Structure 1
């Protein structure tokens, strides 16, 4: 996401060489969703570049490749998994969680495969699972089954909150596209571990997006008071203002938890690159 075209020259310096774009993004936000790894396992040298552009406290939530989660459905993918784990090793402590996003067809009958897969994973990583099958939201037995498996493995359940997106008909091309692609599932706000991860998508209108995240501000503030360390990703259908919205969300949480460290001033879109990545918390 750190190369999103609408940010170039408006929020991030442009042009920038590929090896400096993440460094610029990391002055705005202290975490990123690793979506590109879903489509292809990156080379180790690419991941080394990511590590070199970020402080050790920067958080990557990196998605497992599609062949593992969607094509093989967590079975018989040991070679692909080993290649992926080897590739991301240079991230070190920046690998906040490995993100197991499962297809909408992955339902309660498949939980055994998930349990077996989680049981084989190395313990030197943290894991977070995103499910989209309606039974995991509508059927209390399915909810309890999944929670038991995740809790037993020390894995988090990642909610993807699309309720604001689907609250009223779309009003932009981006919203219409999102309506056709994003899962329509009920809201879930419970955390299973000390590292909750939330994905929230609002609307292309920044004010409607901010109005819809109030319950996540309260949840994040509550988790922080409990000693947990939440990570919240803020999206809109076109993501044009996602960077400014993420910082606004952080400010809203900080208003409830004054001890939360502020984010640094973002790199000016026409300013020089720093010699070292800024430390973010």
Structure 2
């Protein structure tokens, strides 16, 4: 995510070697979704480079490879899972959670498979599960069943809030593409652990993104007051303004909770001058 072309020269210095871009991104935000790990397990040395570019308290939420979650559906992928866990080991304390994103076809009848999979996982990691089947949001009995399964290993349920995005029709090419691909799931705000993780999708119009996140300001502030340590990931269809918007969200929470630590001051993007 930190290599997005539209950020270069705006949020990240340009030109900048690929192995320095994460360091620059970490000057804007203190967490990142490891979405690229869904498509391929990175080389261990690549992951070691990520660790070198970030502080020990930087948060990676790394997505399990799709061969494990989507192709094998949590069964018969032990070798691929071991290879992935070995590859990400250099992150050390930066690995905030392993993110198990399940396909929309993974429904209530598959919960036993998820339970068995979670119980086989190493206990030295935290886990966060994202489901997309409608029944997990509309059937109270199914919700309880999933929450109980996650609770057996202390795993979190990751909501992907797309309610603001789908409130009105798309107005840009990026929004139209997202309109056809993103899940339409009801809003969920219940946290199961002391480390809730939220994924929020706004609009390409920053004002509408800010309008849509208003309910999360009080929710996140409340979690912090309870002693929880939430991670809030902000997306827009084109993600062009995402780092700046993420900082605006943090500032808005901090206005309600002044004792919350400030984000790091971003390094200058352009060359330093005397005037």
TM-score by length of 2: 0.98
User: What's 1:18 paired with?
Assistant: 18
Aligned residue in 1 for 2:105: 105
Aligned equivalent of 1:138:
138
Shift of 1:267: 1.4
**d(CA) in 2 for partners of 1:40 and 1:192?**
29
Alignment match, 1:276:
none
What is the aligned residue count? 272
2:247 aligned with 1:247: yes
SS of the residue 1:261 aligns to: coil
Write the mapping of 1:187-266 to structure 2, written as runs, cut at 5 A: 187-266=187-266
Change in CA separation of 1:271 and 1:157 when aligned onto 2, cut-off 3 Å: farther
Cα distance, 1:151 vs. partner?
A: 1.1
Please state how far the C-alpha of 1:271 moved relative to its aligned partner.
4.7
* Cα gap change, 1:271 to 1:192, in 2 (>3 Å): farther
Q: Is the 2:11–2:25 contact (alpha carbons within 8 Å) kept by the matching residues of 1? A: no
Corresponding residue for 2:268?
A: 268
Superposed CA RMSD: 0.7
Structure 1 position 269, deviation (Å) = 1.3
Could you list the runs of 4 or more consecutive aligned residues of structure 1 that deviate by over 6 angstroms after TM superposition? none
Alignment of 1:5-154 (within 5 A): 5-154=5-154
Report deviation, 1:172. Answer: 0.7
Structure 1 206/129 Cα, relative in aligned 2: closer, same or farther at 3 Å? same
**Residue segments in structure 1 that go unaligned for 5+ positions in a row:** 273-281
Counterpart CA distance in 2 for 1:238 and 1:246 is 14
Unaligned runs of 5+ in 2: none
**C-alpha deviation, 1:44, in angstroms:** 0.3
How big is the shift at 1:110?
0.2
